[in-house]
Amino acid sequence: MLRRKGGKLLTSLCGVEVSCIVVVKGGSGMVLMLYNTLGRRVEEFVPIDEGHVGIYTCGPTVYDYGHIGNFRTFMAQDLLRRYLKFKGYRVTQVMNLTDVDDKTIRGARREGVGLQEYTDRYAEAFFKDLDTLRIERAEQYPRATTHIGEMVRLVKVLLEKGYAYQRGGSVYFDISKFKDYGELSGIKAKKIQSQARVEADEYKEEARDFALWKAWDEEDDGDVFWETEIGKGRPGWHIECSAMSIRYLGETFDIHSGGIDLIFPHHENEIAQTEAATGKKFVNHWIHVEHLMIEGQKMSKSLGNILTVRDILSKGYSGRTIRYLLLTAHYRTQLNFTEAGLKQAEASLKRLDDFLHRLKTVEPAASSNPDVHGRCAEVLRRFEEAMDNDLGIPEALAAVFDFIRETNRLIDSMGASEKDLQEIRDVMLRLDTVLGVLETEAEELPEDLRRLIEEREEARKRRDWARADKIRAELLAQGVVLEDTPEGATWKIIKKQSV
């Protein structure tokens, strides 16, 4: 993996951000409209604290490699996060890792390894896949197993307030006590059978009293348990997210999100138990991402139709191509995954790459082109208008490709000065703070040197240190310094040195 460290790119990006604050944010005054599952309508997004947005996203259950359906949801959340930052907000995003639940315990027991050893493996793979897809890191990734104390405290409050009851060592939430139960998902009240209990974390059909705390059962849980004031056992999945979101974002926060399959029961249960405990509104804005489909069905492990990021990389597609494909559909429409879609994504990326290459290599004109500035302002306005409309990415991308076509035409006819070309490039980089798809590294590092870095990574994997060192020296002679990190080598360009 190649990552650019420091240097010109970042500096120019910062420069763009500063100038664009004046042009785009200050000038536009455009408001962000987002669909809210709670209430089922598009609303103006207004954060609790001016200028800052708190987001909780239900993260992966680390019991296996994530599939690209999971990553569709994480990508949409990345787009939201990046766009909020584009609008000038400071973002605090918290994404939990579910490292204790029915599935993780089952997996660890099947392999005969400890729960942590088992979940660490998939947590590490998850972070690697995030990097491959250029998904920005959240501010916090709390793990359920290190927040048991918070969960126990929350369950105790629910017991004290009479919203929860104990049976056979487990603690259940009594949904009949929470009058707004079903408001998020619209699950019919008549289907609610109070005191009909469910042990499993995942269930679909009917609302039932769900487990906040599960009594230890040697057969199911083996050595996974905590000795606590509410008994020996482990938390239910739903309480994990309530406890961790309160801990990091407070009792009421701005945005909570996940895939649409989490609306019921997971998010419905999170609302019930949190609001029952705090007496306050839990979340202002609920955002749910539609499914990634494959051959007409939801991609899911239980249907056996999954593809991981690794599967697609091994077919020769890049992480950037997968990112582009997952990015293109609006988050509230289903996205059908096909190989043809990957090919189309490659073609679109090539158009972007060719355009950037042209900006770099075209001979600048002596005088400025009077139309360039207007085009730049126009694409930024159209992009923001589209994204403000519930993250309308198809229209936003259409604006970008129109800009490329029109700007190419301007350069063909009248040429563009050095300053014009820089303005166009800055606009593309500014838009890419949201899209995250431009190949800026490849542009700056010639293909033969990139190949050498990859060859060295291969040599390191083979433990062929002599070859790896030889390549490092060759690269240094070409002015490229390598730094090895646990995620792979990063590089930066210096002045050529003799070795």
Least distance CB 297 / ligand AMP (angstroms) = 9
The one of Zn ion, ligand AMP, none whose footprint includes residue 241, by CB under 5 to 8 A per kind, is Zn ion
Among 261, 378, 454, 464, binds ligand AMP (CB under 6 A): 261
The one of ligand AMP, Zn ion, none whose footprint includes residue 298, by CB under 5 to 8 A per kind, is ligand AMP
The one of ligand AMP, Zn ion, none whose footprint includes residue 259, by CB under 5 to 8 A per kind, is ligand AMP
Nearer to Zn ion (CB atom), residue 269 or residue 369: 269
Least distance CB 295 / ligand AMP (angstroms) = 12
Stretch that binds ligand AMP, among 127-135, 259-267, 346-354, 357-365 (CB under 6 A): 259-267
For position 348 contacting ligand AMP by CB under 6 A, the verdict is no
Site mask for Zn ion (CB under 5 A), range 439-478, x = bound: ----------------------------------------
Site mask for Zn ion (CB under 5 A), range 236-275, x = bound: -----x----------------------------------
Site mask for ligand AMP (CB under 6 A), range 295-334, x = bound: ---xxx----------------------------------
Among 54, 60, 142, 436, binds ligand AMP (CB under 6 A): 60
The one of ligand AMP, Zn ion, none whose footprint includes residue 69, by CB under 5 to 8 A per kind, is ligand AMP
Stretch that binds Zn ion, among 19-27, 55-63, 405-413, 485-493 (CB under 5 A): 55-63
Among 38, 53, 58, 349, binds Zn ion (CB under 5 A): 58
Chain positions 66 to 105 lying near ligand AMP, rule: CB under 6 A, are 69-70, 72-73
Least distance CB 469 / Zn ion (angstroms) = 46
Nearer to ligand AMP (CB atom), residue 192 or residue 260: 260
Among 47, 54, 233, 258, binds ligand AMP (CB under 6 A): 258
The one of ligand AMP, Zn ion, none whose footprint includes residue 36, by CB under 5 to 8 A per kind, is none
3-state per-residue secondary structure call for the chain: CCEECCCHHHHHHHHHHHHHHHHHHHHHCCCCEEEECCCCEEEECCCCECCEEEEEECCCECCCCCEHHHHHHHHHHHHHHHHHHHCCCEEEEEECEECCCHHHHHHHHHHCCCHHHHHHHHHHHHHHHHHHCCCCCCCECCEHHHCHHHHHHHHHHHHHCCCEEEECCEEEECHHHCCCCCCCCCCCHHHCCCCCEECCCCCCCCCCEEEEEEECCHHHHCCCCEEECCEEEEECHHHHHHHHHHHHHCCCEEEEEEEHHHHHHHHHHHHHHHHHHHCCCCEEEEEEECCEEECCEECCHHHCCCCEHHHHHCCCCCHHHHHHHHHHCCCCCCEECCHHHHHHHHHHHHHHHHHHHHHHHCCCECCCCCCHHHHHHHHHHHHHHHHHECCCHHHHHHHHHHHHHHHHHHHHHHCCEHHHHHHHHHHHHHHHHHHCCCCHHHHHCCHHHHHHHHHHHHHHHCCCHHHHHHHHHHHHHCCEEEEEECCEEEEEECCCCCC
Which single residue brings its beta carbon nearest to ligand AMP? Answer: 259
Number of neighbours of residue 214 by Cβ within 10 angstroms: 25
**Parallel, antiparallel, or unpaired for β 41-44 and 33-36?**
antiparallel
Nearer to Zn ion (CB atom), residue 182 or residue 236: 236
Q: Are 453 and 482 in contact (CB under 8 A)?
A: yes
Residues that bind ligand AMP (CB under 6 A): 58, 60-61, 69-70, 72-73, 258-259, 261-262, 289, 291-292, 298-300
Residues that bind Zn ion (CB under 5 A): 58, 241
